[in-house]
Amino acid sequence: MSNFPDFFSHGYQVIRELGHNYTGGRITYLATDTRIQQPVVIKQFQFAKSASNWSGFKAYQREIQVLQGLNYPGIPCYLDSFETGDGFCMVQEYKDAQSLAVPRSFCPDEIKQIAISLLEILVYLQNRIPPVIHRDIKPENILVDKELNVYLVDFGFARIGAGEITMSSVALGTLGFMPPEQLYNRQLTEATDLYSLGMTLIGLLTGTKSTAIDTLIDEDNRINFKRLVPKLSLRFVDWLEKLVQPNPKNRYANAAAALEALQPIYVNRIPEVQLSQSRLEFKASKLGKRVTQTITVNNPIPETVLEGKWEVAPHPSDPPHMPDDHAWIKFAPARFASNCAECRITVDTSKLMAATSYERQILLHTNSATETYSLTIQVQTDGIPIATRKLPYLSLALLGGICFSSVWLVSQIWLLPPEFSAVLMLIVFGGALLEAVFGGVVENLWKHFPFAPKLEPPPGLGGIILCLVLWQVILFSVVIIVCFYVVCLIFYALAWVGAYLVYTAKKIQAEIKNKGFSKVASIAILILTIGLGSSLGVGMKLGASNLFALAAVLGTGLPLAGMMLYPPLQRRRLIAQYRKSEQHLIKP
């Protein structure tokens, strides 16, 4: 059977006890309003208790009187009151929140939010006409729920209007939270409740219980708490000290003034860290190059100085290192004391493998609330530092094909021995080669020759077709034109072929040099290509059994093949050597 009192006849069913003061005959219950099925709070005063007296009953009457005139979200509403056989009960709105006397952990910013909510309640009370002075603000009379909503309760000691208080009411309040003017029967003002609020906040910030709050008060009624809150901002400490000044004239005039002063204040004296980026990506355009990126570290908290130190987190692939000395990642500066620090992070890729991705964690140790921040850096190295030297095989084949077709056609048309035809064409090709190498020599000779062409041959495939058509014209001209004129046409055609070879040889030599070959090598490759093409053209006329033709083909073909095969073979050898040297480089 339940020991709770039976209030069913009044429309309430008691659920459980919330608190009690048996010596004073006061008990608080959580109950249900059976008419609307809503939770309520019932505060019961029992006359039969030995320590109970009429002053306690008057407190209930005063609380009812005050609450009936209040309507504010931060103050539980008065709902009902009724008499019982042994006392009197008051019914109030229930708030699912615990008092600040229940041990909980609030950060300084949350305590500031609680202070703002309490000041807003006091502003409402002080704006009443006449103003309401609570006179008993302490952790037990402040409720805070999980969403940090704040409620002020227990208006039993509240006073409507200021003025002097009688000697009989001096004890009304809680020692340690009462300001001197309330304790010593002096004039009450709107600054009176600010003292109690300040003591409540100091108790929360220092972790001091209500029963031990007097340990913070010295003989001169000064509150000594600075040493207990080293991480609070100086402005917030000054604000708290002004709330608890013994002389009410030295406090804020009212709750509105205290609220206005509090709102722009930063509570923490601990710096904060704001990073311009949390991930850095490095990409080296050349292996061995040092790449650098800058990261900005800001501290937005005034009256503080951010101190930081960079370090690379240990990694199994990195050699052992000291915090300030890493093998391939450097910081400048490695340490700083600034609220806006520009830090350069440099990566030395000469110690890293080619064409490889690296990922490391760098740490920023600070004096902020979060002592260590971790950032990711990703490094992508360039390919193997060995140039690819690839000859213009298509262009060389085109040049060789021109030489081959020209020699073969001349050997077919001319009524001369093929050896003589080859020699004559080699003279033309040699002139073209000289033009490509030295520039302007053959061109100037042709300009002074009476039968030299006045137009440059068109480049590319059109030039080749034009040359072949020209040879067909020459073939028919042999039959119908006198020998002298035939000779002129032949020289004219040879001039066109030579001019086109000048263009082709110049282009091919420039292309070879752009691939990384020297000038001597490019000239040698051109000579061998022209020689091979001409030799094959002669060989087509003389036959494969001709020793002269065979020697010419082998003498030009084998060296040319060697020069074409050497670059890829050399690169393969260098790559193998580099891969072997990578064993000493840092792995990803």
Question: Does the residue 77 lie in any domain?
Answer: yes
Nearest partner of 276 among 291, 302, 294, judged by Cα: 294
Domain limits for position 495: 393-573
CATH code: domain of residue 315: 2.60.40.10
Task: Out of 326, 347, 380, pick the residue that ends a domain.
Answer: 380
Q: Following DSSP, what letter does each residue of 45-57 receive, concatenated? A: EETTSTT--HHHH
**Structural domain tally of the chain?**
4
Answer whether residue 131 is part of any domain.
Answer: yes
- Burial level of 322, CB count in 10 A (0-12/13-18/19+)? exposed
Same domain for 89 and 108: no
Q: For residues 137 and 151, what is the distance between their CA atoms, to the nearest angstrom? A: 11
Query: And the tokens for 321?
Result: 């290192």
307/452 same-domain check: no
Q: Do 51 and 135 reside in the same domain of the chain? A: no
Question: Per the structure block, which two tokens stand in for 584?
Answer: 């000493």
State whether 423 and 528 are in the same domain: yes
89/101 same-domain check: no
For 149, phi and psi rounded to 5 degrees? -75, 135
Do the beta carbons of residue 500 and residue 453 sit within 8 Å? no
Q: Which two tokens stand for residue 15?
A: 């659920």
Q: How many CB atoms lie within 10 A of CB 372?
A: 12
For residue 386, tell me if it sits in a domain: no
In a domain, 583, yes or no: no
**How do the pLDDT tens digits run along the chain, 588 residues long?**
468 888 988 999 999 998 887 666 788 999 999 999 999 999 888 765 545 455 566 777 778 888 888 999 999 999 999 988 778 899 999 999 999 999 888 988 999 999 999 999 999 999 998 899 988 899 999 999 999 999 999 887 877 765 444 333 444 567 888 898 888 888 888 999 999 999 999 999 999 998 888 888 887 778 889 888 888 888 899 999 999 998 999 999 999 999 999 998 888 878 889 999 889 998 887 767 889 999 999 998 877 888 899 999 988 888 887 777 888 999 999 999 989 999 999 998 888 887 789 999 999 998 887 889 999 999 988 776 666 667 777 777 777 777 777 667 666 655 455 555 555 555 555 555 554 455 544 445 445 444 444 444 444 444 444 544 454 454 445 444 444 444 545 555 555 565 566 666 667 767 777 776 777 777 777 777 777 777 777 777 676 667 777 777 777 778 877 777 777 777 677 666 666 666 677 787
85 lies in the same domain as 136: no
What is the domain-level CATH number for residue 170? 1.10.510.10
pTM over 0.75: no
Going edge to edge, which strands form the sheet with 98-99? 98-99, 142-144, 150-152
Q: Does 252 fall in a domain?
A: yes
The alpha-carbon radius of gyration of the chain (Å, integer) is 51
- 261 and 281 belong to one structural domain: no
- 280 located within any domain: yes
Task: For residues 258 and 122, state if they share a domain.
Answer: yes
Q: Do 442 and 560 share a domain, yes or no? A: yes
CA 350 from chain center: how many Å? 26
Regarding whether 145 and 87 lie in a shared domain, the answer is no
